[in-house]
Structure 1
Amino acid sequence: MTRRFDLIVLGAGSAGLTVAQRAARHGARVAVCDPGALGGTCVNRGCVPKKALWFAAQWAQSQALARDYGFALARPAALDWKRFRRQRDDYIAGIRARYDRRLQEAGVALIGEAARFLAPDLLELAGGGRLAAPQVVIATGARPRRLELPGFGLGMVSDDVFALERAPARLAVVGGGYVAMEFACLLHALGCGVDLLVRGELLGNFDAELVQHLAGRMLARGIRIVMQTEVRAAHGSAGAVRLEDQTGAMHGPYDAVLWTVGRVPNSDGLGLDGIGVATDAGGHVQVDRYQATGVPGIAALGDVTGRRALTPVAVAAGYALAERLFGGKPQSRFDYEAIPSVAFTDPPLGGVGLTEAQARGRHGEAVRVYTRSFVPLQLAVAGREERSWTKLVCAGGDERVVGLHALGPGVDELLQGYAVALRQGLRRRDLNAAVAIHPTAAEELLLLH
């Protein structure tokens, strides 16, 4: 027996849930197929548990700052990992329960099985049933990349970090992207000795100048960063691992190793070749600006497409797609320009729009850059000297803001409003004319002259 719907969504992560619920509100009969937990990577193995761990790391460091302010703390208290994990997992379980309730209220059929294409409008479930719909959305996300190198199994990937029962005394993080940088910082703050082994560049999607300031801060706090290092093998046993690089040099021993070497789209096993859906060399589903594949009736969203791997991007693109397919808005699409992003490092680093390098590549000599550094008040009062940085990238005679970047405490919160303004055509003169809220870190972006 074949069950028939108007829309079948493969994947119950941020992208899939958004398009499914929005389509259902427009009256579509919708099914969502996913053998995993509701919420996908973001809720279960990414944004939410990572941010919870980041908060724990912030509290660990806040104790030291409180002592500098005069609070009588003999020494910072250690995190009760067992209690923390229970509270975090309870919170995540609540999110999943709310998702489930919303799907039921919207009339969406949740099918806890994987599915593969038999035809563009026909899918087979892992358990043997069949589903049909004139429109299918692929939103199956991505997973941590695992390398075929000796001893890889001696380490863990990002999914495994959330099962830790204590902070490893000595940790190697292999990689230089945002996952590597975030975990290196937050686990160091929770008591790990951290080596960061980097083959290429650090945080390639962020402004290079501010990335270097962040790297300097990490080094000053005791994180060892080893550049141009390609790990070729891991040796030893769990709890005593050594890493061999391309020169034959050995690093370690380490109590734990965290591999953060990219992510792989979950496009294998879907039967895409059989129906003509194109993927790139890395397996990412290829889509146009309307999220459509080359096969009529099939679209794709989120990390499986290789677009910006950010939850708000997946949500916004899913909303726009549902409006196009079922909301009577045939031109609805998500604009991938000027997307704000934050690396939850220590301190956080964020940006929206073009980096300086990107702006010069696009606008050439018409680019003007303004930077400012300052010691945040909460640190200055404690006698500390760690500086924050703000950077404004402008283009043209009217100095339209094409990029805005910042490094320091509170960056993750202050950038949102500026992201809205940038999309509305913000000029530097608008910032200079605005009245600041004093004393704040946000006002520093109004003072760039």
Structure 2
Amino acid sequence: MTFDFDLFVIGGGSGGVRAARIAASEYGAKVGLAEESRMGGTCVIRGCVPKKLMLFASTGGASVAEARGYGWTRAEAGPFNWTIFRRKLDAELNRLEGLYRQGLSNAGVTIHDQRARMIDPHTVALADGTRLTSRYILIATGGRPTLPDFEGAEHALISDDLFLLDTLPGKVLIVGGGFIACEFATILAGMGAAVMQVHRGPHVLRGFDEMGRELVGQQLREIGVDLRLSQTIARIELRGQTRHVTFADRSTGDFDAVIVATGRHPNTAGLGAAEAGVTLGPFGQILVDEWSQTNLPSVYAVGDVTDRVNLTPVAIREGHGFADTVFGAKPRKVDHRLVASAVYTRPHELGCVGLTEDEAAKHRAVDVYATSFRPMRSLFAGSEAKAAMKLVVDSETRKVLGGQIFAPEAGEMVQLVAVAMGMGATKEDFDATIAVHPTLAEELVTMRNVTRRVGPHESVPAA
């Protein structure tokens, strides 16, 4: 059978673009790609990149305060100008989208700027009615924010909307306790908004290590966020331009905006995958094997749409591995067991890699090494903020199973911890490393004494 393409990719995010480009440029495949929105996907257009730039912008006031602590007596910060920032942000995102498009074009990929859906294991239909055939189909449609089911939810914004606001709201309610909610609470508070954050659980960051959960929650309050835990919304009423919110405990509040960040789901609605025979999971995720292959031999999926590890670098690695395996005759799987991540709050980030203390202690005895201290830079300027670090170590093999860092630029540090852990480093390997002084990171190699030993027969404090 003759096909229009060797590979057709549905979705122009990081994973789909990487797969398309590698298959075309390195292995000579004839590739088509369809994207109904902007090229670059969640990370480039409405996620990692604009969020990090917003985070940098939000730290201006704190930087000025620190400067005064170092003797810059005239250092002052006026009000944050959202219009100026938004103009520069839009220009940067346009530049990055252009680079994505140029990379695909240079590789010879045919771009279709419209929605595509599956018809059968070898056929896709574009929004204009065109049908195209392909030897392989790669689904890389990512995830989408979801709104909880409460009265008046249509008056709330999702996290995607924040990047498109014409004006910065003065009083904001953020709903959720995950990393997106915590990061946006940090950003908006830093830009001068009055922020309330509500979360249904007793701690933010469900699934993270207990140390980080407590410290991030404490820090949110310290930077001025009104964090209310074990709280949910009953309804939202629109009163003019104000959102009148009634909470589950019958208390109320008025806000300029309500931003819901309570999770994301695989973006498979209307995709046609299930109708074409692809097996989906209970949350709509595309079920794949270790090679990113679905139950249909010609159909693969990578990235958040598979709901494995929902991080951009993982999607990129999966997309590259798919291209190597299917078109390069170089079989390559992705190991999802050891993936570092960071929660970009301020002034301290939370960097994580490997198992949490609770996870590690379920099946083995582990030694926990932990430290807490006031960093030199902020201490000198008068800050009481403390950094903290933790290594979780197998008591028998001495292998480092997990690392947690709560400190400025923790994401930069945990990346290197992930390299060591990926090579199977033991606690003694960390100890044998001579410290770089004076740095925050030296604490990772100077923790000598076991803070506590926990295991399957001992009690680990519940998160």
- Paired position in structure 1 for 2:244: 242
- Paired position in structure 2 for 1:209: 211
Match of 1:233 among 209, 220, 235: 235
Following the alignment from structure 1 to structure 2, what is the Cα–Cα distance between the partners of residues 109 and 125? 13
Q: Partner letter of residue 189 of structure 1?
A: G
- Paired position in structure 2 for 1:268: 269
Structure 1 residues 403, 238: closer, same or farther in 2, change over 3 A?
A: farther
Following the alignment from structure 1 to structure 2, what is the Cα–Cα distance between the partners of residues 402 and 74? 44
Following the alignment from structure 2 to structure 1, what is the Cα–Cα distance between the partners of residues 293 and 106? 28
1:241–1:255 Cα contact (<8 Å) kept: yes
Q: CA deviation at 1:273?
A: 2.3
2:4–2:134 Cα contact (<8 Å) kept: yes
Following the alignment from structure 1 to structure 2, what is the Cα–Cα distance between the partners of residues 166 and 386? 31
- Paired position in structure 1 for 2:373: 374
Alignment TM-score, normalising by the size of structure 2: 0.93
Match of 1:220 among 205, 212, 222: 222
Q: CA deviation at 1:163?
A: 2.0
Q: CA deviation at 1:74?
A: 6.0
Structure 1 residues 112, 357: closer, same or farther in 2, change over 3 A?
A: same
Following the alignment from structure 2 to structure 1, what is the Cα–Cα distance between the partners of residues 400 and 208? 16
Q: CA deviation at 1:179?
A: 0.6
Secondary structure of the residue that 2:111 maps to in structure 1? strand
Q: CA deviation at 1:147?
A: 3.3
Secondary structure of the residue that 1:209 maps to in structure 2? helix
1:172–1:258 Cα contact (<8 Å) kept: yes
Deviates more, 1:118-127 or 1:214-223: 214-223
1:348–1:408 Cα contact (<8 Å) kept: yes
- Paired position in structure 2 for 1:429: 428
Secondary structure of the residue that 2:420 maps to in structure 1? helix
Deviates more, 1:194-203 or 1:388-397: 194-203
Q: Partner letter of residue 421 of structure 2?
A: L
Q: CA deviation at 1:61?
A: 1.4
2:60–2:77 Cα contact (<8 Å) kept: no
The alignment status of 1:412 with 2:411, answered yes or no, reads yes
Structure 1 residues 148, 384: closer, same or farther in 2, change over 3 A?
A: closer
Following the alignment from structure 1 to structure 2, what is the Cα–Cα distance between the partners of residues 3 and 127? 20
1:393–1:404 Cα contact (<8 Å) kept: yes
CA RMSD of aligned residues (A): 1.5
Q: CA deviation at 1:264?
A: 2.4
Following the alignment from structure 2 to structure 1, what is the Cα–Cα distance between the partners of residues 161 and 297? 38
Alignment TM-score, normalising by the size of structure 1: 0.96
Following the alignment from structure 2 to structure 1, what is the Cα–Cα distance between the partners of residues 401 and 59? 31
- Paired position in structure 2 for 1:441: 440
Structure 1 moving runs of 4+ over 4 Å: none
Following the alignment from structure 1 to structure 2, what is the Cα–Cα distance between the partners of residues 273 and 214? 40
Following the alignment from structure 1 to structure 2, what is the Cα–Cα distance between the partners of residues 238 and 409? 41
- Paired position in structure 2 for 1:4: 4
User: After superposition, where does 1:335-346 map in structure 2 within 5 Å?
Assistant: 335-346=335-346
Size of the aligned set, in residue pairs, is: 444
Following the alignment from structure 1 to structure 2, what is the Cα–Cα distance between the partners of residues 238 and 424? 58
- Paired position in structure 1 for 2:15: 15
Following the alignment from structure 1 to structure 2, what is the Cα–Cα distance between the partners of residues 236 and 272? 38
User: After superposition, where does 1:273-288 map in structure 2 within 5 Å?
Assistant: 273-288=274-289
Following the alignment from structure 1 to structure 2, what is the Cα–Cα distance between the partners of residues 220 and 37? 37
Following the alignment from structure 2 to structure 1, what is the Cα–Cα distance between the partners of residues 207 and 31? 36
The alignment status of 1:167 with 2:159, answered yes or no, reads no
- Paired position in structure 2 for 1:35: 36
User: After superposition, where does 1:272-421 map in structure 2 within 5 Å?
Assistant: 272-330=273-331, 332-346=332-346, 347-361=348-362, 363-364=363-364, 366-421=365-420
Secondary structure of the residue that 2:421 maps to in structure 1? helix
Deviates more, 1:4-13 or 1:407-416: 407-416
Deviation by residue 1:243-293 (Cα, 9 ceiling, x = unmatched) = 22333x123111211111211221111212222211122111111111111
1:117–1:270 Cα contact (<8 Å) kept: yes
Following the alignment from structure 1 to structure 2, what is the Cα–Cα distance between the partners of residues 115 and 169? 39
Following the alignment from structure 2 to structure 1, what is the Cα–Cα distance between the partners of residues 240 and 353? 41
Deviates more, 1:272-281 or 1:351-360: 272-281
- Paired position in structure 2 for 1:251: 252
Q: Partner letter of residue 55 of structure 1?
A: F
Provide structure 1 residue ranges, at least 5 long, that are not aligned to the other structure.
none
Q: CA deviation at 1:238?
A: 5.5
Q: Partner letter of residue 433 of structure 1?
A: A
Following the alignment from structure 1 to structure 2, what is the Cα–Cα distance between the partners of residues 50 and 245? 28
Following the alignment from structure 1 to structure 2, what is the Cα–Cα distance between the partners of residues 109 and 257? 40
User: After superposition, where does 1:81-92 map in structure 2 within 5 Å?
Assistant: 81-92=82-93
The alignment status of 1:95 with 2:96, answered yes or no, reads yes
- Paired position in structure 2 for 1:149: 150
- Paired position in structure 1 for 2:197: 196
Secondary structure of the residue that 1:19 maps to in structure 2? helix
Secondary structure of the residue that 2:215 maps to in structure 1? helix
Secondary structure of the residue that 2:157 maps to in structure 1? coil
Q: CA deviation at 1:153?
A: 2.3
Following the alignment from structure 1 to structure 2, what is the Cα–Cα distance between the partners of residues 215 and 149? 25
- Paired position in structure 2 for 1:120: 121
Following the alignment from structure 1 to structure 2, what is the Cα–Cα distance between the partners of residues 92 and 166? 18
Deviation by residue 1:390-436 (Cα, 9 ceiling, x = unmatched) = 00011142310010111011212111111111100011111111111
- Paired position in structure 2 for 1:78: 79
2:177–2:204 Cα contact (<8 Å) kept: yes
Deviation by residue 1:26-69 (Cα, 9 ceiling, x = unmatched) = 11111111111110111111111100000001223111111122
Deviation by residue 1:374-395 (Cα, 9 ceiling, x = unmatched) = 1111111112221000000111
Provide structure 2 residue ranges, at least 5 long, that are not aligned to the other structure.
449-463
Following the alignment from structure 2 to structure 1, what is the Cα–Cα distance between the partners of residues 240 and 300? 43
Structure 1 residues 166, 439: closer, same or farther in 2, change over 3 A?
A: farther
2:139–2:299 Cα contact (<8 Å) kept: yes
Secondary structure of the residue that 2:434 maps to in structure 1? coil
Following the alignment from structure 1 to structure 2, what is the Cα–Cα distance between the partners of residues 166 and 66? 28
Secondary structure of the residue that 2:86 maps to in structure 1? helix
The alignment status of 1:61 with 2:62, answered yes or no, reads yes
Q: CA deviation at 1:169?
A: 2.1
Structure 1 residues 304, 233: closer, same or farther in 2, change over 3 A?
A: same
Following the alignment from structure 2 to structure 1, what is the Cα–Cα distance between the partners of residues 252 and 398? 48
